[in-house]
Chains A and B, each alone.
Chain A
Amino acid sequence: MQTRVLTIINEEGLHLRPAQVLANAAGQFAADIYVEVADGQEANAKSVLGIIALGLEKGAEVKLSADGEDEEQAVAKLAELFEQGFGEQ
């Protein structure tokens, strides 16, 4: 399993559009991918609903984890999206 700690940089947090970008990208990988927040709450990164239900605001720290064949590529690609603000910055 691969994990990485990341910070939300989007001004308005992970609302609908960035959540869609994340879920679409996560859906390209076979690995099980989860986003976990400090209080232990987690969401399937392939689920837009799951992600927005985390209510992630700017500055929030999350732990991204992927488990499966392509876990390395998955974490690398998704971490890049977090760092680029999901194309919103």
Chain B
Amino acid sequence: MSEQRIKGIGVSEGIRFGKAFIYGAPAVEAAYPQRIEPEQVEAELERLEQAKRQSAAELKTIIAKSEAKLGKDKTAIIEGQLSFLDDPAFYGDIRSQIKRKQASAEQAVQTVLAKLSALFEKMNNAYVKERIHDVKDVADRLMSHLQQVFYPDLASITEPIILVAEDLTPSVTVQLDRSIVLGFVTRVGGETTHTAILSRSLGIPAVVGTGAAFEQLGHGDELILDGTEGVIVLNADAATRSSYEARQQEEQSAAGKLAKYRLLPAQTEDGKLIELAVNVGMPEEMREGLVDEADGVGLFRTEFLFMNADRFPDEEKQFAVYKQLAEAWQGKPIVIRTLDIGGDKELSYWDLPHEDNPFLGNRAIRLCLNERELFRTQLRAIVRASAFGTVKIMFPMISSMQEFRAAKQLTLEVMDELKGQGITFDEKLEIGIMAEVPSVIQLADRFAKEVDFFSIGTNDLVQYTLAVDRMNEKVAHLYDYFHPAVIRSIHSLIQAAHKEGKWVGMCGKMAGDPLAAPLLLGMELDEWSMDAASVTKQKFTLSRLNVQDSAKLLGDVLDLDTAEEIRQQVKAFHAARFSE
């Protein structure tokens, strides 16, 4: 077979060689007999019984493996699936379909699944409704054994693989043993999706958004994944293979050169110390040693705590997580962002009505202000955790002063309530906002009088400023933080904040981009928060920059008209300092 190259978007750097593992619904043949002859009933029941035994054996292996790794909650789901295999309402009904109706085993499984789906669909309780997915998983597993086709089981992977999937959701990635995933390939997605964030923070190379070309990848195919250029090579010939091997070696030696910066403070050539923080969300992102590499957490995404669950985490559960985070960082500042869902982030157990424009809709702070009890519970948990470290609260997607005042008012109420209950917390806890909606930039001077800090979320700020849907592959090329409107927005926000003595951070992808570093240094950005994987590289970048040259570059760039011109100018500046 001849060599094939599949192009996508490289969202996490690095080159890897490995076998493809295709994750998706099992390929079950549509064609199976619906009915059997009466004399076949016994044999059919035995065929079903065998599929059940195989399914049960697999589930037991998964339970044994995952108990230690995933904890009690996740194992409960798999144990539930195992119990369905003996459940009169599931397995009992399937048997009776074969016995009474002479249905084939496959037909019987499908009939019972359809009946249960209809029953669960009517339930009011979202948690119960959600359990139908577990029933479907078990039905799929039985079907795969009846049809003797491969069932793609994430928990069963034991050899290193390149994971290929339509898309990766948090509920899928939580099942994954990350130590054996060499890389990710997904059909959908852009730079700022869950897969991109996850892969960057774990330092696992990834290519997303391959589109239809994705179909050419088969289970077990030998792939070369190039997360730096966004390419997947299938059936690589010897020449290609050796050129990639050489590049992989280059990358490794470059990483070796950076290693000495890992534990050094972030400091410019002329001695200015920069506060370099990390963005974290999933517990897996808090790898060992991270506390010694960074100056704090500039963004703690609380939504993963909600997404990796099958119901709303209560106050105690949230408190335990925030407290552990605060203690782990030993007094270094941590900025906890309140729940940011809606838009592209949904909760499996909460049926939010469909919206035509979710990014302009009921999301983040808007949703929290509409759901006061949910918000209050989270605020109580965060404020309580402030007794154990330096905790700051940040509200996402603020677009008006009223929203900020309402959210702050609720926080103050929660503080009063806690005080009344004799619960201690940090009374000087800072309250700030994400700057990601253009109206905040316009009103920066007003906001600066009331907030304690700003943190610029470049991902959304770019999308809202330039009116570009970052998920739409057709217009994704228009999405660029070097656009002069974005550069000016960031610059004017920092100036307005500094005038009132307030600090400004940045927690979007731009903060970790070496090309953007001189501009951000020139603007005197106070806190830079990025994926854990970018920290060492950005320390190295800063060590080669100085304030004076960076301020001059910024001045020049502010005179330019297009993103293209700005990129060129910044690249030339960069090349002059990082040529070797």
Contact = CB atoms under 8 A, between A and B. Distances in A.
Contact of A50 (B79, B86, B88): B88
B124 A55 contact: yes
Interface string B87-107: 111101000000000000000
A49 B89 contact: yes
A87 B127 CA distance: 20
Contacts of B123: 53, 55
B119 interface: yes
A20 B85 CA distance: 12
A66 to B, nearest CB: 15
A47 B79 contact: no
A16 to B, nearest CB: 4
A35 to B, nearest CB: 13
A23 B83 contact: yes
B87 A12 contact: no
Interface string A4-35: 00000000110111011001100100000000
Interface residues of A, number: 21
A17 to B, nearest CB: 5
Contact of A44 (B76, B88, B116, B127): B88
B125 A48 contact: no
Nearest to A24: B83
Interface in B118-132: 119-120, 123-125, 127-128, 131
A59 B79 CA distance: 26
B124 A50 contact: no
Contact of A53 (B77, B84, B119): B119
Interface in A37-89: 43-44, 46-50, 52-53, 55, 57
Contacts of B90: 47, 49
Which secondary structure dominates chain B's binding surface? Answer: helix
B136 to A, nearest CB: 12
Contact of B88 (A16, A19, A47, A53): A47
Contact of B87 (A16, A17, A49): A49
B125 A46 contact: no
Given A16-B131, A20-B80, A55 B89 contact: no
Contact of B125 (A17, A20, A55): A55
B458 to A, nearest CB: 39
A48 B80 contact: yes
A44 B128 contact: no
Interface of B: 76-77, 79-80, 83-84, 86-90, 92, 116, 119-120, 123-125, 127-128, 131, 135, 311
25 contacts: A12-B311, A13-B125, A16-B76, A16-B77, A19-B80, A20-B76, A20-B79, A20-B80, A20-B83, A27-B86, A46-B88, A47-B87, A47-B89, A48-B83, A49-B84, A49-B135, A50-B87, A52-B131, A53-B119, A53-B120, A53-B123, A55-B123, A55-B125, A55-B128, A57-B125
